[in-house]
């Protein structure tokens, strides 16, 4: 594969609860090449979501370096980090976090309101994103008029609308039945293979992990050695 999209070098993450210090990640090192599709698995409390949040710039490491797309994001201030996230990463969560009062296209447009794009360009980008996830005919529907799978497609379109190179997904199918989950995972596969998106997904579901190119296992804040 090509150059690295994500480089995590000797990263430690410590949370403080009162006087107690909890070290969630212990000197973790990981490279994810551009165009990869990685599933992160491991028991609850193993540090999967913490690692995902660090890669996506939602949190900062206690020590160590994180480079995404050639940029050291661990050195950015909170304002710079927010701006970097808006342009470089798409987020997909287990719960769709859609605004109930907005239509599908209104929800997808939300990240673009932080950009300098014109209204016409925003609408064009939204239409393309909804087309990619197969929901062009549901653009005017509100979340309550959509199925769970359609809501997650809207959430994926929202993650795609600013054309990020990296998608980070935290249990994106955890709330869906098997058939719908497989459809969503198939969509992520298409985004990876045909649109060149680098994807990192946290999942408890071995069947979901099968859609990825490779699976990494975390246990107690460290990556387990796995066969290539």
- DSSP annotation string for 20-61: EEEEEEEEEEEEEETT-EEEEE--TTSSHHHHHHHHTTSS--
The domains of the chain, with CATH numbers, are 4-223 (3.40.50.300)
Q: What are the phi and psi torsion angles at 10 (to 5°)?
A: 55, 45
What is the 8-class DSSP label of residue 224? P
Beta strands in 34-175 (DSSP E): 37-41, 63-68, 71-72, 89-93, 166-170
Q: Are 183 and 192 in contact (CB under 8 A)?
A: no
This prediction's pTM: 0.86
CA atoms of 61 and 25, how far apart (whole Å): 9
CA atoms of 124 and 112, how far apart (whole Å): 11
Residue 81, token pair as written in the block: 């980090």
pLDDT in tens, the chain (228 residues): 468 888 899 898 888 888 888 888 888 888 999 999 999 888 887 888 889 889 988 888 888 899 998 888 888 888 888 888 888 888 887 777 788 888 998 899 888 877 777 888 888 889 888 888 887 888 899 988 988 888 888 988 888 888 888 989 988 777 778 888 888 888 888 889 888 889 999 988 888 888 889 998 888 888 786 534
Residue 15: predicted pLDDT: 87
């Amino acid at each position: 594969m090509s150059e690295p999209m994500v480089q995590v070098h000797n990263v430690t993450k410590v949370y403080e609860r009162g006087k107690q210090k909890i070290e969630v990640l212990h000197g973790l090192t990981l490279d994810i090449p551009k165009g990869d599709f990685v599933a992160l698995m491991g028991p609850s409390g193993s540090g999967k979501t913490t690692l995902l949040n660090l890669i996506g710039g939602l949190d900062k490491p206690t020590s160590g370096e994180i480079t995404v797309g050639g940029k050291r994001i661990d050195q950015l201030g909170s304002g710079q980090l927010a701006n970097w996230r808006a342009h470089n990463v798409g987020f997909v969560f287990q719960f769709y976090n859609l605004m109930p009062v907005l239509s599908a296209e209104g929800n997808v447009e939300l990240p673009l309101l932080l950009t300098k794009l014109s209204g016409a360009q925003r609408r064009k980008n939204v239409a393309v994103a909804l087309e990619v996830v197969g929901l062009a005919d549901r653009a005017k529907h509100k979340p309550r008029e959509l199925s769970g799978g359609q809501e997650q497609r809207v959430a994926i379109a929202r993650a795609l609308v600013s054309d990020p190179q990296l998608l980070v997904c935290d249990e994106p199918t955890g709330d869906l039945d098997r058939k719908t989950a497989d459809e969503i995972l198939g969509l992520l596969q298409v985004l990876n293979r045909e649109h060149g998106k680098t994807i990192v997904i946290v999942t408890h579901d071995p069947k979901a992990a099968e859609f990825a190119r490779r699976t990494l296992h975390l246990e107690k804040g460290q990556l387990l050695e796995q066969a290539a």
